[in-house]
Structure 1
Amino acid sequence: MKNISILLLSILFFSCQQKETKIDSVQTSDSIAAKDTVVVKQNKEDNKQIGDTIFMNFKNEKDLYIAEGTLDSIHSRIYVKFKNEDLGELNGKIIPAGGKGNIRFNQIISPDKSSDGPFGMDLNTNLEQKGNYILVIGHSQMADNPFYGKFTVQLENKKK
Protein backbone atom coordinates (compact mmCIF):
# COMPACT_ATOMS: atom_id res chain seq x y z
CA MET A 1 0.00 0.00 0.00
CA LYS A 2 2.88 2.30 0.87
CA ASN A 3 4.49 1.67 -2.53
CA ILE A 4 1.24 2.52 -4.39
CA SER A 5 0.81 5.81 -2.53
CA ILE A 6 4.43 6.80 -3.27
CA LEU A 7 3.88 5.93 -6.93
CA LEU A 8 0.69 8.00 -7.11
CA LEU A 9 2.34 10.97 -5.40
CA SER A 10 5.28 10.86 -7.81
CA ILE A 11 2.96 10.73 -10.82
CA LEU A 12 1.00 13.67 -9.45
CA PHE A 13 4.19 15.62 -8.79
CA PHE A 14 5.59 15.08 -12.29
CA SER A 15 2.28 15.78 -14.04
CA CYS A 16 1.84 19.13 -12.27
CA GLN A 17 5.18 20.55 -13.39
CA GLN A 18 5.00 23.06 -16.25
CA LYS A 19 7.14 22.67 -19.31
CA GLU A 20 9.65 25.36 -20.13
CA THR A 21 9.54 27.11 -23.49
CA LYS A 22 12.78 27.99 -25.19
CA ILE A 23 13.13 31.34 -26.92
CA ASP A 24 15.93 32.01 -29.35
CA SER A 25 17.71 35.10 -28.13
CA VAL A 26 19.24 35.88 -31.53
CA GLN A 27 16.95 36.70 -34.45
CA THR A 28 18.03 37.75 -37.88
CA SER A 29 16.55 40.74 -39.62
CA ASP A 30 15.02 38.41 -42.23
CA SER A 31 12.90 36.62 -39.63
CA ILE A 32 11.73 39.93 -38.16
CA ALA A 33 10.77 41.21 -41.61
CA ALA A 34 8.91 37.99 -42.32
CA LYS A 35 6.93 38.40 -39.09
CA ASP A 36 5.97 41.97 -40.04
CA THR A 37 4.54 40.84 -43.38
CA VAL A 38 2.51 38.13 -41.66
CA VAL A 39 0.98 40.71 -39.32
CA VAL A 40 0.02 42.92 -42.28
CA LYS A 41 -1.65 39.99 -44.03
CA GLN A 42 -3.62 39.11 -40.90
CA ASN A 43 -4.97 42.67 -40.60
CA LYS A 44 -6.18 42.62 -44.21
CA GLU A 45 -7.87 39.23 -44.08
CA ASP A 46 -11.39 38.66 -45.27
CA ASN A 47 -14.36 39.75 -43.22
CA LYS A 48 -15.11 37.15 -40.54
CA GLN A 49 -17.92 36.33 -38.16
CA ILE A 50 -17.25 37.09 -34.50
CA GLY A 51 -20.02 35.70 -32.33
CA ASP A 52 -23.27 36.69 -34.00
CA THR A 53 -21.85 39.68 -35.93
CA ILE A 54 -19.98 40.02 -39.22
CA PHE A 55 -18.14 43.32 -39.62
CA MET A 56 -17.74 44.17 -43.31
CA ASN A 57 -14.55 46.25 -43.27
CA PHE A 58 -12.67 45.15 -46.37
CA LYS A 59 -13.63 45.02 -50.04
CA ASN A 60 -12.02 42.62 -52.48
CA GLU A 61 -10.57 43.39 -55.92
CA LYS A 62 -14.05 43.41 -57.51
CA ASP A 63 -15.24 46.06 -55.00
CA LEU A 64 -17.43 43.50 -53.18
CA TYR A 65 -17.80 42.82 -49.48
CA ILE A 66 -17.60 39.04 -49.07
CA ALA A 67 -17.78 37.12 -45.80
CA GLU A 68 -18.48 33.64 -44.55
CA GLY A 69 -20.84 33.06 -41.67
CA THR A 70 -22.49 30.27 -39.74
CA LEU A 71 -26.00 29.92 -38.39
CA ASP A 72 -26.45 27.48 -35.53
CA SER A 73 -28.82 26.88 -32.65
CA ILE A 74 -26.97 29.41 -30.47
CA HIS A 75 -26.71 32.13 -33.14
CA SER A 76 -30.00 31.86 -35.02
CA ARG A 77 -29.59 35.40 -36.39
CA ILE A 78 -26.46 36.96 -37.80
CA TYR A 79 -25.94 40.73 -37.92
CA VAL A 80 -23.91 42.07 -40.84
CA LYS A 81 -22.60 45.58 -40.13
CA PHE A 82 -21.15 47.84 -42.81
CA LYS A 83 -20.54 51.53 -43.34
CA ASN A 84 -22.08 53.28 -46.32
CA GLU A 85 -20.13 56.30 -47.56
CA ASP A 86 -21.86 56.80 -50.91
CA LEU A 87 -25.53 56.99 -51.80
CA GLY A 88 -26.60 54.33 -54.24
CA GLU A 89 -28.03 50.87 -54.62
CA LEU A 90 -27.15 47.90 -52.40
CA ASN A 91 -27.15 44.45 -53.97
CA GLY A 92 -26.78 41.52 -51.61
CA LYS A 93 -26.73 37.78 -52.01
CA ILE A 94 -26.68 34.86 -49.58
CA ILE A 95 -25.16 31.63 -50.85
CA PRO A 96 -25.72 28.61 -48.54
CA ALA A 97 -22.93 26.02 -48.49
CA GLY A 98 -25.36 23.24 -49.43
CA GLY A 99 -26.84 25.17 -52.34
CA LYS A 100 -30.33 25.70 -50.93
CA GLY A 101 -31.73 26.39 -47.52
CA ASN A 102 -34.25 28.31 -45.47
CA ILE A 103 -32.11 31.43 -45.07
CA ARG A 104 -32.81 35.05 -46.03
CA PHE A 105 -32.19 38.72 -45.33
CA ASN A 106 -34.74 39.37 -42.58
CA GLN A 107 -34.18 43.12 -42.16
CA ILE A 108 -32.05 46.09 -43.08
CA ILE A 109 -31.64 48.71 -40.37
CA SER A 110 -30.66 52.21 -41.53
CA PRO A 111 -28.50 54.73 -39.63
CA ASP A 112 -31.65 56.55 -38.45
CA LYS A 113 -32.90 53.22 -36.95
CA SER A 114 -35.68 52.78 -39.53
CA SER A 115 -35.96 49.27 -40.95
CA ASP A 116 -37.25 47.44 -43.99
CA GLY A 117 -37.78 43.78 -44.79
CA PRO A 118 -38.14 40.88 -45.04
CA PHE A 119 -36.29 40.03 -48.23
CA GLY A 120 -35.22 36.76 -49.82
CA MET A 121 -31.79 35.34 -50.48
CA ASP A 122 -31.22 38.31 -52.80
CA LEU A 123 -31.42 41.92 -51.70
CA ASN A 124 -31.82 45.01 -53.90
CA THR A 125 -32.51 48.27 -52.11
CA ASN A 126 -31.58 51.94 -52.31
CA LEU A 127 -29.27 53.38 -49.67
CA GLU A 128 -30.46 56.94 -49.11
CA GLN A 129 -28.37 57.72 -46.02
CA LYS A 130 -24.71 57.73 -45.15
CA GLY A 131 -23.67 55.87 -42.03
CA ASN A 132 -23.68 52.44 -40.43
CA TYR A 133 -26.18 49.88 -41.70
CA ILE A 134 -27.10 46.52 -40.18
CA LEU A 135 -28.41 43.53 -42.14
CA VAL A 136 -30.14 40.79 -40.16
CA ILE A 137 -29.77 37.30 -41.64
CA GLY A 138 -31.76 34.32 -40.39
CA HIS A 139 -34.24 31.69 -41.41
CA SER A 140 -37.81 32.40 -42.43
CA GLN A 141 -40.25 31.91 -39.56
CA MET A 142 -42.99 31.07 -42.08
CA ALA A 143 -41.16 28.04 -43.49
CA ASP A 144 -40.24 24.69 -41.99
CA ASN A 145 -36.74 23.42 -41.28
CA PRO A 146 -34.62 26.33 -40.05
CA PHE A 147 -31.22 26.64 -41.73
CA TYR A 148 -28.16 25.64 -39.73
CA GLY A 149 -24.77 25.67 -41.37
CA LYS A 150 -22.30 27.79 -43.30
CA PHE A 151 -23.13 30.44 -45.86
CA THR A 152 -21.45 33.24 -47.82
CA VAL A 153 -22.67 36.83 -47.94
CA GLN A 154 -21.85 39.15 -50.86
CA LEU A 155 -22.62 42.86 -50.77
CA GLU A 156 -22.10 45.37 -53.56
CA ASN A 157 -22.76 49.09 -53.26
CA LYS A 158 -23.32 50.73 -56.65
CA LYS A 159 -22.95 54.50 -56.64
CA LYS A 160 -25.62 56.67 -58.23
Structure 2
Amino acid sequence: MKNFLMVTLPFLLFSCQQKENKSTTVSSSDSIQVTQNAEESKIENRTENKQTGDTIFMNFKNEQNIYIAEGTVDSIHSRIYVKFKNEESGELNAKIMPPTGKGNIRFNQIIFPDKTSDGPFGMDMKIPLKQKGSYILVIGHSQMADNPFWGKFKVELENKKVAE
Protein backbone atom coordinates (compact mmCIF):
# COMPACT_ATOMS: atom_id res chain seq x y z
CA MET A 1 0.00 0.00 0.00
CA LYS A 2 2.87 2.39 0.81
CA ASN A 3 4.42 1.78 -2.58
CA PHE A 4 1.15 2.54 -4.33
CA LEU A 5 0.86 5.94 -2.55
CA MET A 6 4.50 6.78 -3.25
CA VAL A 7 4.00 6.13 -6.95
CA THR A 8 0.65 7.94 -7.39
CA LEU A 9 1.42 11.04 -5.30
CA PRO A 10 4.02 12.50 -7.73
CA PHE A 11 1.65 11.93 -10.66
CA LEU A 12 -1.14 13.85 -8.92
CA LEU A 13 1.13 16.78 -8.07
CA PHE A 14 2.56 16.90 -11.59
CA SER A 15 -0.88 16.81 -13.21
CA CYS A 16 -2.17 19.69 -11.05
CA GLN A 17 0.76 21.89 -12.03
CA GLN A 18 0.18 21.25 -15.72
CA LYS A 19 -3.44 22.40 -15.50
CA GLU A 20 -2.42 25.69 -13.91
CA ASN A 21 0.17 26.34 -16.61
CA LYS A 22 -2.33 25.61 -19.38
CA SER A 23 -4.89 28.04 -17.98
CA THR A 24 -2.41 30.94 -17.79
CA THR A 25 -1.24 30.78 -21.39
CA VAL A 26 -2.64 33.46 -23.68
CA SER A 27 -2.53 33.27 -27.43
CA SER A 28 -1.48 36.26 -29.47
CA SER A 29 -4.97 36.69 -30.95
CA ASP A 30 -6.42 37.09 -27.44
CA SER A 31 -3.98 39.85 -26.55
CA ILE A 32 -4.76 41.69 -29.77
CA GLN A 33 -8.46 41.62 -28.92
CA VAL A 34 -7.79 43.06 -25.45
CA THR A 35 -5.76 45.96 -26.84
CA GLN A 36 -8.44 46.70 -29.42
CA ASN A 37 -11.09 46.90 -26.68
CA ALA A 38 -8.86 49.19 -24.61
CA GLU A 39 -8.36 51.50 -27.60
CA GLU A 40 -12.10 51.58 -28.29
CA SER A 41 -12.85 52.54 -24.68
CA LYS A 42 -10.26 55.34 -24.85
CA ILE A 43 -11.99 56.71 -27.95
CA GLU A 44 -15.38 56.59 -26.17
CA ASN A 45 -13.94 58.39 -23.11
CA ARG A 46 -12.60 61.18 -25.32
CA THR A 47 -16.11 62.13 -26.40
CA GLU A 48 -17.80 61.91 -23.00
CA ASN A 49 -17.20 63.24 -19.52
CA LYS A 50 -18.06 60.32 -17.24
CA GLN A 51 -18.17 59.78 -13.51
CA THR A 52 -15.50 57.47 -12.11
CA GLY A 53 -16.13 56.68 -8.46
CA ASP A 54 -16.92 60.00 -6.81
CA THR A 55 -15.19 62.18 -9.44
CA ILE A 56 -16.24 63.56 -12.81
CA PHE A 57 -13.32 64.71 -14.95
CA MET A 58 -14.48 67.40 -17.39
CA ASN A 59 -12.03 67.03 -20.26
CA PHE A 60 -14.13 67.54 -23.38
CA LYS A 61 -16.43 70.35 -24.49
CA ASN A 62 -19.30 69.95 -26.94
CA GLU A 63 -19.93 72.05 -30.07
CA GLN A 64 -21.32 74.95 -27.99
CA ASN A 65 -18.10 75.01 -25.89
CA ILE A 66 -19.92 73.61 -22.83
CA TYR A 67 -18.83 70.79 -20.54
CA ILE A 68 -21.73 68.34 -20.02
CA ALA A 69 -21.70 65.19 -17.89
CA GLU A 70 -24.03 62.83 -16.09
CA GLY A 71 -23.41 61.83 -12.51
CA THR A 72 -24.98 59.78 -9.76
CA VAL A 73 -25.28 60.54 -6.06
CA ASP A 74 -25.83 57.48 -3.88
CA SER A 75 -25.27 56.38 -0.29
CA ILE A 76 -21.65 55.45 -1.03
CA HIS A 77 -20.81 58.61 -3.00
CA SER A 78 -22.83 61.31 -1.26
CA ARG A 79 -20.51 64.01 -2.61
CA ILE A 80 -19.39 64.24 -6.22
CA TYR A 81 -16.26 66.13 -7.24
CA VAL A 82 -16.28 67.78 -10.67
CA LYS A 83 -12.76 68.63 -11.84
CA PHE A 84 -12.01 70.92 -14.76
CA LYS A 85 -9.18 73.12 -16.01
CA ASN A 86 -9.49 76.81 -16.79
CA GLU A 87 -7.03 78.42 -19.18
CA GLU A 88 -8.48 81.93 -19.45
CA SER A 89 -10.34 84.28 -17.15
CA GLY A 90 -14.09 84.58 -17.48
CA GLU A 91 -17.33 83.78 -15.71
CA LEU A 92 -18.32 80.22 -14.85
CA ASN A 93 -22.01 79.43 -15.38
CA ALA A 94 -22.79 76.04 -13.87
CA LYS A 95 -26.09 74.16 -13.57
CA ILE A 96 -27.22 70.94 -11.92
CA MET A 97 -30.28 69.36 -13.53
CA PRO A 98 -31.95 66.43 -11.76
CA PRO A 99 -34.38 64.40 -13.91
CA THR A 100 -37.37 65.59 -11.85
CA GLY A 101 -36.31 69.22 -12.15
CA LYS A 102 -36.13 69.71 -8.39
CA GLY A 103 -34.36 68.00 -5.54
CA ASN A 104 -32.12 68.57 -2.55
CA ILE A 105 -28.90 68.81 -4.58
CA ARG A 106 -26.60 71.79 -4.97
CA PHE A 107 -23.06 73.03 -5.51
CA ASN A 108 -21.69 72.79 -1.98
CA GLN A 109 -18.32 74.33 -2.73
CA ILE A 110 -15.85 75.48 -5.38
CA ILE A 111 -12.15 74.97 -4.73
CA PHE A 112 -9.88 77.35 -6.64
CA PRO A 113 -6.39 76.49 -7.98
CA ASP A 114 -4.76 78.32 -5.04
CA LYS A 115 -6.71 75.96 -2.66
CA THR A 116 -9.08 78.67 -1.41
CA SER A 117 -12.78 77.91 -1.57
CA ASP A 118 -16.22 79.49 -1.69
CA GLY A 119 -19.76 78.23 -1.19
CA PRO A 120 -22.38 77.00 -0.68
CA PHE A 121 -24.38 77.74 -3.82
CA GLY A 122 -27.66 76.48 -5.25
CA MET A 123 -28.42 74.39 -8.31
CA ASP A 124 -27.19 77.30 -10.46
CA MET A 125 -23.90 79.07 -9.94
CA LYS A 126 -22.25 82.11 -11.52
CA ILE A 127 -18.77 82.98 -10.32
CA PRO A 128 -15.80 84.79 -11.87
CA LEU A 129 -12.79 82.62 -12.72
CA LYS A 130 -9.72 84.83 -12.34
CA GLN A 131 -7.07 82.10 -11.91
CA LYS A 132 -5.65 79.65 -14.40
CA GLY A 133 -5.46 76.04 -13.31
CA SER A 134 -7.55 73.16 -11.98
CA TYR A 135 -10.87 73.85 -10.25
CA ILE A 136 -12.99 71.43 -8.23
CA LEU A 137 -16.75 71.72 -7.75
CA VAL A 138 -18.27 69.74 -4.88
CA ILE A 139 -21.85 68.57 -5.52
CA GLY A 140 -24.05 67.11 -2.79
CA HIS A 141 -27.25 67.64 -0.87
CA SER A 142 -27.89 70.45 1.57
CA GLN A 143 -27.27 69.40 5.17
CA MET A 144 -29.84 71.99 6.31
CA ALA A 145 -32.73 70.41 4.38
CA ASP A 146 -34.57 67.12 4.70
CA ASN A 147 -34.63 64.29 2.17
CA PRO A 148 -31.13 64.03 0.70
CA PHE A 149 -30.99 63.60 -3.08
CA TRP A 150 -30.13 60.12 -4.39
CA GLY A 151 -29.99 59.37 -8.09
CA LYS A 152 -28.80 60.65 -11.43
CA PHE A 153 -28.27 64.25 -12.41
CA LYS A 154 -26.78 66.24 -15.26
CA VAL A 155 -24.18 68.97 -14.80
CA GLU A 156 -23.27 71.71 -17.30
CA LEU A 157 -20.30 74.07 -17.07
CA GLU A 158 -19.72 77.03 -19.36
CA ASN A 159 -16.87 79.51 -19.10
CA LYS A 160 -17.95 82.77 -20.74
CA LYS A 161 -15.30 85.30 -21.57
CA VAL A 162 -15.91 88.64 -19.90
CA ALA A 163 -15.23 91.78 -21.93
CA GLU A 164 -12.94 94.09 -20.01
| Greater strand share, structure number | 1
> Which amino acid counterpart does residue 84 of structure 1 have in structure 2?
N
**Corresponding residue number in structure 2 for 1:121:** 123
Q: TM-score, normalised by structure 2?
A: 0.74
Q: Look up the SS of the partner of 1:83 in the other structure.
A: strand
> Which amino acid counterpart does residue 81 of structure 2 have in structure 1?
Y
Identity of aligned residues (%): 70
Q: Measure, in 2, the Cα distance between the counterparts of 1:110 and 1:23.
A: 48
**Corresponding residue number in structure 2 for 1:60:** 62
> Which amino acid counterpart does residue 112 of structure 1 have in structure 2?
D
> Which amino acid counterpart does residue 99 of structure 2 have in structure 1?
A
Q: Look up the SS of the partner of 1:47 in the other structure.
A: coil
Q: Measure, in 2, the Cα distance between the counterparts of 1:93 and 1:44.
A: 22
Q: CA deviation at 1:99?
A: 1.8
**What is the RMSD of the two structures over their aligned residues, measured on CA atoms?**
2.9
Q: Between Structure 1 and Structure 2, whose CA radius of gyration is higher?
A: 2
Q: CA deviation at 1:38?
A: 4.6
Q: Look up the SS of the partner of 2:143 in the other structure.
A: coil
**Corresponding residue number in structure 1 for 2:44:** 42
Runs of 4+ in 1 over 3 A off after TM superposition: 21-25, 37-41
Q: Measure, in 2, the Cα distance between the counterparts of 1:123 and 1:106.
A: 10
Equivalent position to 1:135, from 134, 137, 142: 137
List alignment gaps of at least 5 residues for structure 1: 1-17, 26-33
> Which amino acid counterpart does residue 54 of structure 2 have in structure 1?
D
Shift in CA distance, 24/116, structure 1 to aligned 2, threshold 3 Å: closer
**Corresponding residue number in structure 1 for 2:80:** 78
Q: Measure, in 2, the Cα distance between the counterparts of 1:39 and 1:129.
A: 33
List alignment gaps of at least 5 residues for structure 2: 1-22, 31-35
> Which amino acid counterpart does residue 102 of structure 2 have in structure 1?
K
**Corresponding residue number in structure 1 for 2:157:** 155
Q: Look up the SS of the partner of 2:137 in the other structure.
A: strand
Q: Look up the SS of the partner of 1:44 in the other structure.
A: helix
Q: TM-score, normalised by structure 1?
A: 0.76
Is 1:92 matched with 2:94? yes
How many pairs are equivalent? 140
Q: Look up the SS of the partner of 2:146 in the other structure.
A: coil
